[in-house]
Structure 1
Amino acid sequence: MRQGRTPSGQSTLVIVHGLGDRASSWEKFVALMQPDVAVLALDLPGHGEAPPARDYHYGSLVEHVATAVRGVDRFALLGHSVGAAVAWLFAGRNPARVTRLILVEPAAPHQSRFIHSPTPEPRHPFTYASPGDALLAMRAFDLSVTEQEIRRDYRARPDGQWEPAFDPAILPPLVEDAKTLGEQFRRELAAIVAPTLIVRGERSMLRPEQAEEILAELPRGRLVAVRGGTHFLHRQQPEELARLVREFLAAG
């Protein structure tokens, strides 16, 4: 877990990153939120500085978040990609604790693209011959990524290939949950009482109709599309994302 400053009396925003990401990739966004908002950015198990886990099913990831925020009574919660699904499960199960919910480029496990995906092997699907090759691949999604970030977020294998620095054992459980828990994911969305903001990039992997499907399940949701945005809004357009989140938090 990485933590921003948390002075007494400040509102708190908890961030749950996406698959293969880490808390430190949110540093630019966190800096833009402070000092008015205290930020707790969490490393999910097997990511960043967090050790691997024995269980990577969504329920266990939700419990990881619950443990990390045990000392915080009420807070706003932001999740990105797979982290957004973890965030909405937490919000649906803990309605009294989440004041506002932000889903950035949410991965919706109950949607058909996940349900019909084959269960992957517990290994990284993409590897690269060098950090430079990884950089070129990532810049297809995010032109702002640097080689320094690649060297932080990737690691060299014994065979010389470079792979993302997260535990690939997380992949099969997440796909299994998508196949078996679809209705539960829908119910958890409908159970969310906190005002919810969905943020998608216009050039993202999340299609407009998929975002609208998530929105339709939410009792108090709204959807915003970021012009020119990709899946990695917190890296590519941190200023715009911070502006949207600040306005949403200030609305009540």
Structure 2
Amino acid sequence: MDQKIRVTGGGTGEPLLLLLHGLGATGDVWSGWAPLLERHWPGRWLAPDLPGHGGSAPLPEYTFDAFADALVPLVPAGGRTVVLGHSLGGVVALALAARTPVTAVAGLGVKVAWTAEELDRARSLAARPVTWFDSPDEAAARHLRISGLAGLLPPGHPAARNGIREEDGRWRLALDPRAFAVGAPDMPALIAQSPSPVTLARGEHDPMNTDAQFASLGVATLTLPGLGHNAHVENPEQCLTLLP
């Protein structure tokens, strides 16, 4: 494919499960799913780094459509594919479903309502210059904070180490900061464009969304008891209920 995408995965055959991480993270956040999927998923699974994240190439401009276009080659034309995306990945999953033969879409922890202040802050983050660190540990700790994984994963975890990059003896986040400017999703339009069944789920303690916001979108919804925004990292086994 023209767009370089780093992908991890496992399993064989069909159906394909495509796992999409959130803003700032990498596909390695799904590593805790590997032993569970080996037992419970009948086909293969792929966890790509979204463009501008981890080992994947950046985009000229970050939009939900551009994210989805870069992932189209991962979806087989004649097979069955289920897409589960977290946060930003959930929005990208919906955009991807409008482009490819996806069997079902699940979005976990998607932020569906944005204030003007939140969007201004995101644009400000996108405009900031890259921050450099003197050690990989400092950079990994920053990556975990940016991706909301601080306290959930250690700095030595692959999800942290693959989220940083060394250049000339200094370290930075692999994340392209311009990705923060992707904006707010038009969830009603994205859902309407998906020909596949859509499920939205959230952790009970996720501060980024509410049950009422999800219910207003007219799709199947699920609340995961006791979990927060990164429910897929906190309790992969509980999140397996999102898979058809």
Summarize the Cα distance change of 1:238–1:70 in structure 2 as closer, same or farther, 3 Å threshold.
same
Q: Alpha-carbon deviation of 1:212?
A: 3.2
Q: Alpha-carbon deviation of 1:87?
A: 0.8
Q: Report the 3-state secondary structure (helix = DSSP H, G, I; strand = E; otherwise coil) of the residue aligned with 1:199.
A: strand
Q: Which residue of 2 aligns with 1:17?
A: 21
Q: Alpha-carbon deviation of 1:4?
A: 2.6
Summarize the Cα distance change of 1:72–1:51 in structure 2 as closer, same or farther, 3 Å threshold.
farther
Summarize the Cα distance change of 1:20–1:116 in structure 2 as closer, same or farther, 3 Å threshold.
closer
The answer as to whether partners of 1:77 and 1:101 remain within 8 angstroms in 2 is yes
Summarize the Cα distance change of 1:195–1:124 in structure 2 as closer, same or farther, 3 Å threshold.
farther
For residues 127 and 138 of structure 2, the distance between their equivalents in structure 1, rounded to whole angstroms, comes to 25
Query: Is 1:216 matched with 2:190?
Result: no
Q: Which residue of 1 aligns with 2:151?
A: 143
Query: Is 1:69 matched with 2:67?
Result: no
Q: Which runs of 5+ in 1 are unaligned?
A: none
Of 70, 78, 82, which aligns to 2:84? 78
The amino acid that maps onto 2:163 is D
Q: Report the 3-state secondary structure (helix = DSSP H, G, I; strand = E; otherwise coil) of the residue aligned with 2:103.
A: strand
Q: Which residue of 2 aligns with 1:50?
A: 56
For residues 141 and 193 of structure 1, the distance between their equivalents in structure 2, rounded to whole angstroms, comes to 33
Query: Is 1:113 matched with 2:122?
Result: no
Q: Which runs of 5+ in 2 are unaligned?
A: 1-5
The answer as to whether partners of 2:12 and 2:43 remain within 8 angstroms in 1 is no
For residues 133 and 49 of structure 2, the distance between their equivalents in structure 1, rounded to whole angstroms, comes to 24
For residues 214 and 64 of structure 1, the distance between their equivalents in structure 2, rounded to whole angstroms, comes to 27
Summarize the Cα distance change of 1:159–1:5 in structure 2 as closer, same or farther, 3 Å threshold.
closer
Of 190, 193, 198, which aligns to 1:196? 198
The answer as to whether partners of 2:55 and 2:162 remain within 8 angstroms in 1 is no
Q: Report the 3-state secondary structure (helix = DSSP H, G, I; strand = E; otherwise coil) of the residue aligned with 2:82.
A: strand
The answer as to whether partners of 1:16 and 1:79 remain within 8 angstroms in 2 is yes
Q: Which residue of 2 aligns with 1:153?
A: 163
Of 35, 43, 48, which aligns to 1:37? 43
Count residues in correspondence.
229
Q: Alpha-carbon deviation of 1:195?
A: 2.6
Encode CA deviations 1:182-235: one digit per residue, 9 max, x unaligned: 4xx422212334232222112212232xx43344324xx322222221211222
Compare 80-89 and 34-43 and name the one that shifted more: 34-43
For residues 81 and 25 of structure 1, the distance between their equivalents in structure 2, rounded to whole angstroms, comes to 13
User: TM-score, normalising length from structure 1?
Assistant: 0.75
Encode CA deviations 1:107-129: one digit per residue, 9 max, x unaligned: 33xx2336862122433799888
